Structure 1
């Protein structure tokens, strides 16, 4: 710890470029793995906790966690995240598929490969177009759901070796899709190198990931957790792509996950010239200070300020006899709960639409998780939305809390109270 309260970083090697990493970004304490659920019989058992400290490499500008866990610790056979439980995310996938079929001219002679294909939420939309697909998913629980839905899926981790094997058995891919996976891989060079090995000479790869610039501008510290090994700017992605002999030729800014990027890549020299959007975004990142170590050093205080504001709201609400329930049990929610030290002293329970999470407890904070209909039974005064990126969808689904005067709370970028679903009134 330094004199100004920042944590010091013993040098470690950047997982992309290998240069020493010493620049702190934010310290979120010591927390459990956030995509685990605690069964009733495990309630009193010890739980593994790991340091959650993010740093930035000032050579390639990749923000990253120090290595303390591996992919196998996270993406286990009973990994509980199923993408299909978010209707807005499924619609996002459908829109993407329709656009890519038209833009790339995909047909029955093409092959689409999705990395971290989860339960088939995206690949299912290629079926009506007659486009062959292959999912690659390391977690058996969600992969088997995809197979049951008729989505051809390989249950394995992806990298160069897997890519060569898959290419030999299925052929090279016209389109490789990676939505919210690039940040999840500890060996980012092997993963992107695998993309290069599995992609046709004129093929396209698209990656979607939360944009580091939005994380910093909107104080989304809760999107930092052990399952996210990297936090990505366009500058960092260009550096990783160059190492794998890939290049970005287009980029789109999306509203998903609090503000994401969709990058379009190809083999170096494949012929498509970069769109003006690529340079425009690089310029925006540079002007925002993403190539300045001081910008990263200042972020930690933003997280602390929001933590204090969240706790102030919760303390005041409870002091006035208000009951608070959570909505959702996402990874980001567990980071927020553990960093802020919030348990059942503030939040009575939370709910989740995913049956795999119901009737368990959140890691670390030990808040019980129920099915969504428990909200009607408990009639809380506030519904604290942990997956705040889905607030419009959740508010619409739970509009009935207005029957008893219930209100919603979103914690990021700062706590706000809403008296009606978004679009019907301003926050109170």
Structure 2
């Protein structure tokens, strides 16, 4: 049996094609959530190829290298953000799902990759029965302590059968920012068919490939995100596995996402016009052809060069710079732009699991906000998807002359507070 933690993609996980367009390569990058102990040498820190390709048949955007999920997820440092933005978003997901599924009647909601249970608690408040499935044992234990029943397992067809036997069929199976992490989508969708009620819905939230390209959110490319989907790609995938795409909503969270619902093809649900409209928009905008992805790669190279030049120029002029938000996307950004402890004094973050540790690859110390005794002149905002909320929160820093560097889609310096609405 091979012990290599990396498998390289040959056939598309959606359609089986081997016709690929090379889009962008970042070389070898450490795992996005592989934060390091502060007292080690870390000479053995692993890095893995980070390269994106596009299937010329169905236009799935895929990483070439699939890292063993046991390496990625059994102990995991990412927890659902406690920000105002995310709290509102979790309520929005409940509201949108509640338009189609009877939550108040105690229907079963099963969440894949349920993390510490924040989303399921919002569904419980709406009247649903809840069950989480998450392979990260450390996070599943936290969820259980919070009163959220959680299986510390990967979701597959065998897990689905066990859940159905014990809990009955699910009215809703939800996967928020987890479906893009899955390599064997066929087995997961077989599990969905096992567990989902005939009139139930399978709803996923994934990064939208159109937003990735248009907003130049290249730092959301990391080893956990194996796939970046168009609606047309998802529609083809669902049809291949006996499901019908029912509806789609575009949402701003995480730099641009889509909430997509599918149902058994033989069930009562029909496809909303929004689905067909977005598929046509993708075709008309050129997302089924090579040129869009070639242009994306060129813009990525320009932004990386400009950001590195901006940060190093400020440091050369005597400015003190730190990072704000030890996000997974920050690992990609810092490593591919070559920004480390020479440029950034520290990284501030509210996540206890990351505090007192070092950022992957770049070895920048992560500190709690309350431990920052001497603020920098500039913060490089790695958690740029929460920019407006952070700029409101840090109004005192800005009013005192501090500045934020927003890295994408092109580097900009912000010095004004955002007025609360």
Please tell me the TM-score bracket, short chain as reference: over 0.9
8 Å CA contact 2:9, 2:66 repeated in 1: no
Secondary structure of the 1:248 match is strand
1:271-304 CA distance string (max 9 Å, x none)? 2222111111111111121110232233211110
Q: Count the aligned residue pairs.
A: 413
C-alpha separation in 2, matches of 1:225 and 1:153 = 26
Q: Distance in 2 between matches of 1:102 and 1:23?
A: 39
Matching of residue 420 in structure 1 with residue 406 in structure 2: no
Please give the alpha-carbon distance, in whole angstroms, between the structure 1 residues aligned to 2:159 and 2:291: 40
Q: Deviations over 1:105-140 (max 9, x none)?
A: 223441111110000111111233332101111101
* 1:49 to 2:71 alignment: no
CA distance in 1, matches of 2:16, 2:97: 35
2:378 alignment counterpart: 382
Q: Which moved more, 1:98-107 or 1:362-371?
A: 98-107
Q: 2 CA distance for matches of 1:149 and 1:109?
A: 20
**1:403, CA displacement in angstroms?**
4.4
| Residues 1:67 and 2:73 are matched in the alignment | no
Q: CA RMSD in A?
A: 1.7
Provide the residue aligned with 1:176 in structure 2: 173
Cα–Cα, structure 1 residues 11 and 232, in superposed 2: closer, same or farther, change >3 Å?
A: closer
Moved more, 310-319 or 295-304: 295-304
Q: TM-score, normalised by structure 1?
A: 0.93
Q: Note the C-alpha offset of 1:264.
A: 1.4
* Partner residue in 2 for 1:37: 35
Distance in 1, Cα, partners of 2:344 & 2:178: 31
Q: Is the alpha carbon distance of 1:47 and 1:274 closer, same or farther for their aligned partners in structure 2, counting shifts above 3 Å?
A: same
CA displacement 1:30-57 (0-9 Å, x = unmatched): 1111111110222443211111011011
Q: For 1:302, which of 278, 289, 299 is the aligned residue?
A: 299
Q: 1:68 to 1:42 in 2, by over 3 A?
A: farther
The CA deviation string for residues 73-104 of structure 1, in whole angstroms up to 9 with x for no partner, is: 11023x01110433321221123224433542
Is residue 2:400 matched to residue 1:404? yes
Where does residue 4 of structure 1 map in the other structure? Answer: none
Separation in 2, partners of 1:245, 1:57: 22
CA contact (8 A) 2:51 2:65 kept: no
Corresponding residue for 2:252? 255
Residue by residue over 1:390-413, the C-alpha shift from the partner in whole angstroms, topping out at 9 and shown as x without a partner, is: 112222222221243101111010
Large movers: runs of 4+ above 6 Å: none
Matched, 1:354 2:351: yes
1:164 aligns to 2:161 (yes or no) = yes
Match of 1:395 in 2: 391
- Residues 191/11 of structure 1: CA separation in 2 closer, same or farther (3 Å cut): closer
Residue 338 of structure 1: SS of its match in structure 2?
Answer: helix
Between the aligned partners of 2:371 and 2:171, the Cα distance in structure 1 is: 46
Determine which of 138, 145, 151 is the counterpart of 2:142: 145
Distance 1:250 1:338 in 2: 37
Number of the residue aligned with 2:80: 83
Segments of structure 1 that go 5 or more residues without pairing to the other structure are: 1-9
